[in-house]
Amino acid sequence: MTQDHSTEAPAARGDRIAKWLARSGVCSRRDAERLIAEGKVQLNGAPVTHPATFVDEGDIVQVEQKVVGAPDRTRLWRYHKPDGLVTTHRDPEDRPTVFDSLPPGMPRVISVGRLDLNSEGLLLLTNDGALARRLELPSNGWIRRYRVRVFGVVDERALASLIKGSVFEGVRYGPIIAALDSRKGDNAWLTVSLKEGKNREIRKVMAGLNLHVSRLIRTSYGPFPLGTLKRGELEEVTGKVIREQIAGLAGGKTPRGA
């Protein structure tokens, strides 16, 4: 196959090589572009010199002289993230990561959104970066639900007012549905739902209500529930469910091979 540096590919053309390598689980797309720049990628025996090179079915791709297998079909997993793990592939502080905790034999996956170090519960994982981006789009209207334990005096009117949006420390937050489930002394459990979340949004909004979050558990992400998954447990979503839940979303195509 010849290398093509044009910005647009014909309809029948395959993926750009950096995307193809990312889908194959070799590395991220950005790292793939770095490997290309370093001259470590070959296509059908010839060095790849530009990331706008396309890979077609039957082409042979090598990274550092090793043949890379073709990308797998789109796959999606539900994972019960324990607290104490960061949702990143490489942590500069060398803390344990979600990806280090996955069972042997898992393909390279990325997360759909994130849960911070001290948060737990449902995390969706996929081997398809394009799918991950689609599932994160606010335009999907998918609700993310959490059980939240807080310390402090809960003002139910203040909780209810969060549905109108809020501003704390100069940051504007979108609508949040929050309700009191139970209370024992200075501790209370809340149910919190939102469609789009900024980094550590629930913790910051609760702090604005003088409530300290001592536990945060995501119980669902759109149509996908945490269910009965135990901490650290992983369960693959069937292709049928992927097709039913994903095909109609913003962003277009049905996931590959699902």
How large is the greatest C-alpha to C-alpha distance in the chain, in angstroms? 70
Q: Which of 228, 229, 202 is nearest to 216 (CA)?
A: 202
Catalytic residue among 94, 116, 181, 186: 116
As a whole number of Å, the end-to-end CA separation of the chain is 27
> How far is it, in rounded angstroms, from Cα 78 to Cα 236?
6
CB 53 within 8 A of CB 1: no
Whole-angstrom distance, CA of residue 76 vs CA of residue 128: 8
What are phi and psi for residue 249, nearest 5 degrees? Answer: -75, 165
Say if residues 59 and 13 touch (Cβ distance below 8 Å).
no
Is 116 among the residues known to form the active site? yes
CA 239 – CA 232 distance, rounded (Å): 22
How many alpha carbons fall within 13 Å on the CB side of residue 100? 13
State the Cα–Cα distance between residues 189 and 151, nearest whole angstrom: 9
Q: Which is nearest to 131 in space by CA: 8, 11, 254, 220?
A: 254
Q: Which residues are catalytic?
A: 116
